């Protein structure tokens, strides 16, 4: 197997596997539906967005 095809396969797995485990399987089990959040939940949404941004700025690939 060539290095480029192995890298592509690894990258594809890196994207698909977590999405399957954290989104697809729970959705199939529970059948949840997207709904509008309650209006007074905006502080929690803002905090979640800030934590997401902070987490992605700290993360870096090994050897980087």
Q: Is residue 48 part of a domain?
A: yes
Q: Is residue 64 part of a domain?
A: no
Scan for tokens 């709904």, then name that residue.
35
Closest of 36, 34, 11 to residue 23, by C-alpha: 34
pLDDT tens per residue, range 15-52? 888 888 888 888 888 887 777 778 888 898 899 999 98
pLDDT tens per residue, range 46-60? 999 999 888 877 766
* R_g of the chain computed on alpha carbons: 17
- Look at 64 and 36; give whichever has higher pLDDT: 36
Secondary structure (DSSP) of 30-53: H-----PPPGGGHHHHHHHHHHHH
Is the pTM here over 0.85, yes or no? no
Q: Is residue 63 part of a domain?
A: no
CA distances from 3 to 7, 11, 15, 22, 56 (A): 6, 12, 19, 29, 27
Confidence of residue 11 (pLDDT cuts 50, 70, 90): confident
Q: Could you tell me the residue range of the domain that residue 12 belongs to?
A: 3-58
């Amino acid at each position: 197997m060539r290095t480029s095809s192995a890298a592509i396969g690894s990258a594809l797995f890196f994207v698909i596997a977590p999405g399957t485990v954290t989104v697809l399987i729970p959705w199939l089990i529970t059948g949840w539906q997207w709904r509008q959040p309650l209006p007074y939940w905006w502080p929690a949404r803002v905090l979640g967005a800030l934590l997401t941004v902070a987490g992605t700025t700290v993360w870096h690939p090994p050897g980087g």
